[in-house]
Chain A
């Protein structure tokens, strides 16, 4: 790891330490009785420690570490998505293709640096293959709906998530060997935007921004969170190939996409009658609850960087 990566992780560690201290102080002030918001806050902070450690460990192994990490993220996300969207028996071959072919092949293509294939493998080949497989079952009940579910799940959980490790494949002049930092910047900005939206919402939130989709999102939380996270992104321009204003615009873009991603994924959850996608991350819900904003931000970020910088 280079000097910049270490200082970045040291900064994140200091931030988490501060968060943990504040969390403990709040708990101490509230007394020993259970307090839903504070207990959830502390569970979230503890989970953040684990997530940062896992990401740090992946970074130690470089490009392949990040590919394996996001392969796992995609697997858990796809599993949560497919669990929550019911399919029928004749969708089995399409689901087998999604879990056992599309997912590993997509990450293999990224490891091979084959842009021409990993950028169209799922949107073109799998898009056509999955309904073909489903049609062999001979079951026409809600066919279009079922075919869409599998395709959508693959696009969100595998294709969109895989745009994060795909950043490793970009050749950015003057930024050679530092692509890991670009990944760190993207994840940090998008996640801190979620955190700051949550904090601003809890402190100042009054008007709900989308009461039908996500009752916890407020206008104040959105504005404060996105503004602060954009500032964080701009101030971190020293780890990116961007200058200050470019970094600010990029941060604003990924934060906006991240917010909309949260809304869309919430709409799906409400429709299915659940609050969380899963239970694997204590305090946060499932993998998709943590990744919903990254899913929408990463592909746009990847293509912007590729178009203008690579």
Chain B
């Protein structure tokens, strides 16, 4: 045992590579390489159909930052992410709490919750767009019958036609499709909290609110952190909802950075790649901020 040759020792040292190697290669090919390619292409001059015409320096970025719609698009993306994720988390906390109780028909309710998840996001967006159609939309017919609008077909019935009314609908649909995953993630978190802790709290005479605030929420933090992080990235990169329902129109007034990137791709791929890099940076910054904030909370408690 003691007399191992240097070769065997080297082999033993390298042995873990056999196990981690495939994963490393996979990450390098699937994650790192596309990122590198994306960053590279943001500095290239590329024709509309993808033929590289040489280096473009930082001109793609200059053009992007010079776009009159760029600041609005970025601000909107942040609002979009914060609004969708915050509302989703709040609603999911309540829903998870509900689904964690025993009540008749719970199984059915839990199943129903999966529906928005099981349906394709594209399909959901198309259905909502149709329900909001100014002439024949179901929601508009209900609104007319309730006396909220005078007639179909007019500007009042056209909620997706203006940014001010379209944005809340887009957010609502995004929340709708994000709820199932978030709720189930939190539900899983809830089920890991041991019943003894609650019994102890009860014995100490803690109120329900107090129990929730001091026991449930802190113990739910890991699930909450994961759910929020995944949602932040998903929602930031969400494309089909906005593209189907408004195309980012009127103008760019409902476009987030992902939509903007896609539209730019039709006219200038280099600029679109620059937008992707900015987008990528934004996600990292948002995630970093979130992690920082949640850690800070950790230290306080």
Q: Do A and B bind each other?
A: no
